[in-house]
Amino acid sequence: MTEVRGTGGDSGDVARPQLDEDLSEVSDFLRAIGKQIKLLRERAGLTQKEFAKEVGYTESLIGAVEQGKRTPQRELLVAAERVLDAGGLLLIIADDIERAKAKARVRHPEWFRGYAGLEAICEELNDWSLWDFPGLLQTEAHARAIYEMRQPVLSEEVIEMRVAARLARQEILAKWPRAMFSWVIDESVLRRPMGGWDVHAGQLRHLLEVGSTRGMVIQVMPLNRTDHAGMGGPFILLTPKGRSQMGYIEVQTSSRLITDQSEVRILNARYSTLRSQAHTPEESLSLIEKILGER
């Protein structure tokens, strides 16, 4: 058995020193972008409130972007380019941000890079999630909300880096040939509106989209099930290319990468039972739609 200390990447990298890497370059980059947007806005004679209305975003988000506390997304920069007549400057910045996001895949905390590297080359991944949506399925808004509520509090720079790194991991879902993916998610996760209902609704809609994609299976473990094979906690089974299947588990500030095949077989048996106890994929998507319709 190989053991990796620290926490993992899906249900949260909790209670840990924030700065595993030098973030000065990231924070300086965001502040520089924010200053440029503010300068262009003021040159156009717009207040933050007026500018926010023109580009279709909230005033608080514009304020956070101008302070370098939030990464401006391409859609915002395209809208700002039009409103502020920036002469192509903001479109160039959008490309720079995309390149920075591409680099984010190597900005995982040191204690998580081992698992992240294996996940990136996996040919099959099966995930039992008891407490939160799997990291590979999280929307940007949900991931940011989770990091913003983390205790001890994370700095804005760390939050931005962690969100970018989590989203970069999701590129494996679009690779071809596609790996085989399945997720079993506890119903309680679907009913816990982390980040507020708007964020949660966006997350549920994303699950519907992924669950309707060929080669990706989402099942929900119902709350009223009297037999439950997953009460020991969440875990992941993954098969990296050219390697045997292995398990990954985490709790609080400890995580383990399991390579002992006798233990992997136990996790496999549990996962098979979980899938048999959960709703079918079709029933699961119907339940997600039903929860969305309850508001």
Other Cβ atoms less than 10 A from the Cβ of 132: the count is 20
**Encoded tokens for 99:** 């390149």
In the predicted structure, residue 271 carries a pLDDT above the cut 80: yes
Three-state DSSP at 279 gives coil
Instruction: Report the C-alpha gap between 85 and 174 in whole angstroms.
Output: 35
CATH topology of domain 108-293: Endonuclease; Chain A (3.30.870)
Chain-centroid distance, C-alpha 241: 23
What's this model's pTM, rounded to 2 decimal places? 0.70
pLDDT tens-digit map of 40-53? 999 999 999 999 99
pLDDT of residue 157: 77
Q: Which fold has domain 24-104?
A: 434 Repressor (Amino-terminal Domain) (1.10.260)
Report pLDDT for 251.
79
Asked if the bond preceding 234 is cis, omega within 30° of 0, the reply is no
pLDDT band at 109 (very low <50, low <70, confident <90, very high): low
Mapped onto helix, strand or coil, the DSSP state of residue 198 is helix
Strand runs labelled E in the chain: 122-129, 180-186, 216-221, 235-240, 246-251, 254-258
The amino acid that residue 125 corresponds to is: L
**Cα atoms found within 13 Å of the Cα of residue 14, Cβ hemisphere only:** 13
Q: Tell me the pLDDT band of 280, cut-offs 50, 70 and 90.
A: very high
What pLDDT sits at residue 38? 94
Contact 185, 221 (CB under 8 A): yes
Angle of the 156-169 helix axis to the 89-103 helix axis, nearest 10: 70
Residues in contact with 283: Cβ distance below 8 Å, sequence separation at least 6, in sequence order: 220
CA distance 232 to 62: 43
- Residue-wise pLDDT tens digits, 211-250: 999 999 999 999 999 999 999 999 999 999 999 999 999 8
Closest to 91 in 3D by CA, of 103, 75, 69, 70:
75
CA-to-CA distance for 190 and 292, rounded, in angstroms?
9
Percent of the chain whose predicted confidence (pLDDT) is above 90? 59
Residue closest to 117 by CA, chosen among 241, 230, 15, 211 = 241
Identity of the residue numbered 161: M
**Please, where in the chain does CATH 3.30.870 lie?**
108-293
- CA-CA-CA-CA torsion for 257, 259, 264, 265, nearest 10 degrees? 180
Residue 252 has pLDDT above 90, yes or no: no
Location of each CATH 1.10.260.40 domain in the chain = 24-104
Residue matched to tokens 């995580």? 255
